[in-house]
Amino acid sequence: MSDVEEDKVDIESMSKRKQRKHKYRAKLFAALAEYKDILIISVDNVGSKQMQQVRIALRGQAIVLMGKNTIIRKVFRDHENTQLQSLLPYVRGNMGFVFCNGDLREIRKTITENKVPAAARPGLLAPVDVFIQAGPSGLDPGQTSFFQALNIGTKITKGAIEIINQVHLIKAGERVSASAVALLGKLNMKPFFFGIQVNTIYENGSIYAADVLDFSEQDLLNKFLSGVTKLASISMAIGYPTAASLPHIVCRGIKNLLSLSLCTDYSFDEAKKYKDLLDNPELLAAAQAAAAASNAPAASDKKAEAAPPPKAESEEEEEAGGDFDLFG
């Protein structure tokens, strides 16, 4: 009997529950072998229909795999790639995986764009702030006592309740109260939008927050240059040379050599141009004039933009101004 036939017999001899676990384990191993990148997702308050829509949108680009966290942890521990064990702390709660080899930013965008409006429920952590705008509520005056219990100022206008001021009903991150749910239900409001959340990225063995995908190449370059600048400043301050501070050290050394050369008879190729300018007043004046001419257009343009247009004075105003004497 072959190994395949033996495995088939073993699977058939298992209970249905063990068969499902075995199939999921094989599917997870196959996904780990085929795809190199993983998006760790959270599916709180996400329905099966919404999950199906996301799967259809990702077809051909990625696969979505959900499962029991205990089986996932065991697969990661048994897998030959020991780097997967760094994902174990993230395997908790109502989560899953999106396996892919393509553009992580585009795939994340496809996942998070699928959102559906949802009504508030008591005890739910509010994902966003909820405000009720001032104006007509459409409710009859018999509901006034309900607004009074929530300390919401109202008035009766044309036979309906009107809210006087904007009300901050629910704050993001706080539990939704039963009274807030009742009020939103009366106003027929669905303030929340629920969808799949991408929290963490596993890319080629590295793990980082999904927010990093929002950075552009220019943002990353600016952060890198900012770090290099700070490192160079610290190196210069403590007198410890580094690769970041080396250009500044060389520049400072050249400036010191130029200063010594201009103050003494010693000269070298880089200092000769400056010594010639100091020795020849006409050449120095010509260089200064050329520099002033190159800066003049920009300065005149700024001055023209800043200065208001001159006001034309009539002859009568000029004559009146000429006859005026401050001292009588």
The matching CATH number, chosen from 1.10.10.10, 3.20.20.80, 3.30.70.100, 3.90.105.20, for 130-190 is 3.90.105.20
Question: How many other C-beta atoms are found inside a 10 Å radius of the C-beta of residue 67?
Answer: 18
pLDDT at 317: 44
pLDDT at 312: 46
- Walk along the chain (328 residues) and give the pLDDT tens digit of each residue: 444 444 444 555 567 778 888 888 888 999 988 998 999 998 887 888 888 889 999 998 899 998 888 889 988 888 888 888 888 999 888 889 999 988 888 999 988 888 888 788 888 888 788 888 888 888 888 888 878 877 888 888 888 888 888 888 888 888 888 888 888 888 888 888 888 889 899 988 889 888 888 887 888 888 888 988 999 899 888 988 888 888 888 888 888 888 888 888 777 777 777 777 777 777 777 777 887 887 765 544 555 455 555 444 444 444 444 444 433 3
pLDDT at 10: 56
Contact in structure between 42 and 36 (CB atoms under 8 Å): no
The Cα–Cα gap between 23 and 16 comes to 11
pLDDT at 309: 52
Contact in structure between 98 and 107 (CB atoms under 8 Å): yes
54 phi/psi in degrees, rounded to 5: -65, -40
The CATH number that domain 3-114+196-214 falls under is: 3.30.70.1730
Q: For 7-43, how does the pLDDT look when each residue is reduced to its tens digit (9 = 90+)?
A: 444 555 567 778 888 888 888 999 988 998 999 998 8
pLDDT at 147: 81
Same fold, 3-114+196-214 and 130-190: no
pLDDT at 14: 65
Residue 270 buriedness (CB in 10 A; 0-12 / 13-18 / 19+)? exposed
Q: For 209-237, how does the pLDDT look when each residue is reduced to its tens digit (9 = 90+)?
A: 888 888 878 888 888 889 889 998 998 88
- Facing residues of 167 across strands? 132
Contact in structure between 134 and 164 (CB atoms under 8 Å): yes
Q: Which helix (H) or strand (E) holds 255?
A: helix 246-263
pTM of the model: 0.57
pLDDT at 99: 93
pLDDT at 314: 44
Residues 6+ apart with CB under 8 A from 173: 125, 126
pLDDT at 230: 92
Q: Where are the domains of the chain?
A: 3-114+196-214, 130-190, 217-283
The Cα–Cα gap between 63 and 54 comes to 10
Pairing of strands 154-157, 62-66: unpaired
The Cα–Cα gap between 203 and 40 comes to 11
C-alpha to C-alpha distances, 11 to 5, 14, 25, 251, nearest whole angstrom = 10, 5, 13, 74
Nearest to 126 by CA among 195, 92, 166, 177: 177
Contact in structure between 165 and 154 (CB atoms under 8 Å): no
pLDDT at 12: 58
With tokens 């520049």, the residue in question is 251
Residues 6+ apart with CB under 8 A from 152: 132, 163, 167
281 phi/psi in degrees, rounded to 5: -60, -35
The Cα–Cα gap between 224 and 187 comes to 50
Burial 236-252 (b: 16+ CB within 10 A, else e): beeeeeeebbeeeeeee
